[in-house]
Structure 1
Amino acid sequence: MDALTEKDVRRNALVLSCAQSLGGANPAIVISLGGLVGQMLATDKSLATLPVSLYNLGLALGTIPAAMLMRRLGRRAAYMLGAVIGGVAGLLAAYSITTGMFALFCVATAIAGTYGSCVQSYRFGATDGADANFKARAISWVMVGGLVGAVIGPQTVIWTRDAIGGIPFAGSFVGQAVLALAALPVLLLLRGSVRPAAEQGGGRPLREIASSGRFVVAVVAGIVSYGMMSFVMTAAPIAMVACGHTVGEAALGIQWHVLAMYGPSFVTGRLITRFGKEWVTMAGLLLMAVSGAVALHGLSVGHFWLSLVFLGVGWNFGFIGATAMVTDCYRPEERTKVQALNDFLVFGSVAIASFSSGRLLNASGWETINWLLYPAVAIVLIPLLWQAGRTRRAAA
């Protein structure tokens, strides 16, 4: 890869932030509507959240092929191919709804997940060529783009859900396709995105990197932050409708949640610089615990929305902190394979959490979903405290 100047690095972070604003609408649409379309199309209502779960499975399985494409073709080409795949997924989902084919809708959401694996990589792409002091801020810049996606996605649902007469939600997935394809001219603006020469050989074996304590703690923190957030968020729209709230209120709840997921990104990078990656990650996990407490205290629209806001802010601190921890675990020539392994483990766990969420909601209810936040948070706080202590001693 041509050497990136500081100006190029900042430009790429801004470009990827813009692309994130379009790609970030993809999960917002799938997650807010996937369970509802599942209830509409599936004969077995316990499978209602299967489309969302398959989205997360596609996200996990797409990480390694996406990394291979980035290594061979460069980030720009791989990201543009991902956007085309996202467009195809949206159109296929709309077609499956119009024909009433639940299985095909599940295939479409899984394909949308592979697009999501490219979008998730934007946060790592922004760190290419960045110095250590700018990495956390570069990640935050990209995540800020999700703030726009948080508005675009749910608003697309609200304004287009009845756009195709007599076929609820099909228009929203056409909108998803349009948003994915709109990212293509944005991604063309990336600089220095040919195949990185530094990654054509060398580096430590992946097993050696994966067995290090620092990497294990970072991955576990990412798994809990993203996995438990997905676990609760997947069930939330269905739980809201089951409690008598409207589809519009459920979609707005997801919008507030996604806004809370990305809004703090304006300051998260600076907080990490000031307080450290581990402490910001721990703060995020504690906020997720607060989310569970709010959800357990009532079933009003306000309780659902406030719980989802705390869940989103907690995810932001936890996931950005964990991502920044991962960037400390590899050398330049090792980055693609380590990033791919991290995302495969994180999003594989997210898929498992999403699969279990619908069945557990159907069998045990909304309260059980939220009680399970507490043991997960408690388990990861201990190694994070240990890692924070090591980091502080090393800096002393």
Structure 2
Amino acid sequence: MNANANVLRLAASQALMLSAIVMSMAVAGILGAQLAPDAGLAALPIAAMVVGVAVASLPAALLMRRVGRRTGFLCGAAIGVGASLLAAHALQVQSFALFVLGHFLLGAYQGFANYYRFAAVEASGPTEAGRAISLVVAAGIVAAFLGPQLGQWGRDWFPGELFLGAYLAQAALSVVAFALLAGLRLPAVSPTQGGAARPLGEILRQPALLMSVFGTAIGYSAMIMAMTATPLAMLGCGLPGTRVTPVIQWHVVGMFAPSFFTGALIKRYGVPRIMQIGFALLLAHVAVAVSGLEFLHFFSALILLGVGWNFAFVGGTTLLTQTYRPAEQLRVQMANEFIVFGLVALASLSAGWLYARFGWVLLNLSMAPLLVAALLAAGRMARAGRIVGGR
């Protein structure tokens, strides 16, 4: 199987996985508000999903190091099937604890799937890293439409069982992803290939790697915090639940549609400049979000949030691939995923609490200082011309 076929399978699997995640992002907060014993816990299922990503990132990398990418990805898809079925069962028995657990496992599925983008680089080669990463990330555009629609289609499939059908359909997506991943033929990745590996501490002290991890973590944390709180904020402002779906949908379009050209922009202008633009767009989201509470404020702010995340995430991932030798890639990827998604999990966990205690405006303003710091750091790297971390 050639490199393009592998990348396309990974992209299609990414689209299916993200459709499942986006569906839960659109409906889990609403269902959480109905099932939770306290209003402040309404966003806990979504937060648990992000925690699941962080917790799974280390064992996923270790498993793939031992048995290979393909087997690891198949394990992740199997977890996704079980997670969706558990969430569906939780809705049947009206158990908030089981609903949270189901979303934690759904996050674990994403924790495995987050390595698709690195597998795409390995399949296509380092010179095509930006293009391969962009193609896999761009597949999420499917999720922008399929995810929210899946929630709407499955909302009333079973009378008296709100969204039960949606979670059963979500399980079916993971089954299809499993079938696609079974056909992967990826090059073997050995922890000893490519010469001697440096100590992890030495690798992590590289300025380019620090910028990659810091920038990706800040951009992703800002995105997940605002996205988690958006359905609650819209409902809290008196907007109908039907208005939540298009906001989340076009936010996801903003997240993934730019990937069709992000790789080309990175080649032309360099990673630091693209990350810099990303942080500027995330700050623009904050400005729009705090300027009003009408539908158009949420709609436009969430599109800016999505595009800003894309530039920060694709740029940060591309930068990361330039900082390690082949013998170091599995350890560095594992450390990156754990650090980034650990911080993202903290942001997600705090979103519901911040919104419940301080409201939508202050939640968004709390992001601004770190976004300014990331913007300045990317600007310094761009001026210094530091792009490659020294292999």
| TM-score over 0.5 (shorter chain) | yes
**Partner of 1:98 in structure 2?**
92
Alignment of 1:225-240 (within 5 A): 225-240=219-234
Alignment of 1:59-70 (within 5 A): 59-70=53-64
Is 1:320 the counterpart of 2:314? The answer is yes
Alignment of 1:220-369 (within 5 A): 220-369=214-363
Residue 291 of structure 1 contacts residue 310 of structure 1 at CA under 8 Å; is this kept in 2? Answer: yes
Deviations 1:177-204 (A, max 9, x none): 1111111221123223545364599411
Please, which runs of 5 or more residues in structure 1 have no aligned partner?
Answer: 1-6
Distance 2:130 2:189 in 1: 24
**Partner of 1:187 in structure 2?**
181
Identity, % of aligned pairs? 38
My pick for the range that moved more, 231-240 or 364-373, is 364-373
Aligned length: 389
Q: Which amino acid is 1:109 matched to?
A: H
Deviation at 1:226, TM superposition (A): 0.3
Alignment of 1:192-211 (within 5 A): 192-194=186-188, 196=190, 198=192, 202-211=196-205
Distance 2:124 2:197 in 1: 19
Change (3 A) 1:334 1:197: closer
Residue 288 of structure 1 contacts residue 373 of structure 1 at CA under 8 Å; is this kept in 2? Answer: no
Deviation at 1:119, TM superposition (A): 1.6
Residue 275 of structure 2 contacts residue 311 of structure 2 at CA under 8 Å; is this kept in 1? Answer: yes
Q: Which amino acid is 2:18 matched to?
A: G
The CA RMSD over aligned residues, in Å, is 1.8
Change (3 A) 1:197 1:43: closer
My pick for the range that moved more, 153-162 or 241-250, is 241-250
Distance 1:300 1:141 in 2: 34
SS of the equivalent of 1:113 reads helix
Given candidates 366, 371, 374, the residue that maps to 1:372 is: 366
Distance 1:153 1:234 in 2: 15
Distance 1:200 1:217 in 2: 24
Distance 1:126 1:91 in 2: 29
TM-score under structure 1 length normalisation:
0.94
Given candidates 35, 38, 46, the residue that maps to 2:29 is: 35
Residue 32 of structure 2 contacts residue 96 of structure 2 at CA under 8 Å; is this kept in 1? Answer: yes
Residue 13 of structure 1 contacts residue 126 of structure 1 at CA under 8 Å; is this kept in 2? Answer: yes
SS of the equivalent of 2:313 reads helix
**Partner of 2:106 in structure 1?**
112
Q: Which amino acid is 1:322 matched to?
A: G
Deviations 1:137-180 (A, max 9, x none): 10000011111122111110011112121121222111111111
TM-score under structure 2 length normalisation:
0.95
Distance 1:31 1:70 in 2: 28
Alignment of 1:118-137 (within 5 A): 118-137=112-131
Please, which runs of 5 or more residues in structure 2 have no aligned partner?
Answer: none
**Partner of 2:7 in structure 1?**
13
Distance 2:364 2:112 in 1: 30
**Partner of 1:147 in structure 2?**
141
SS of the equivalent of 1:85 reads helix
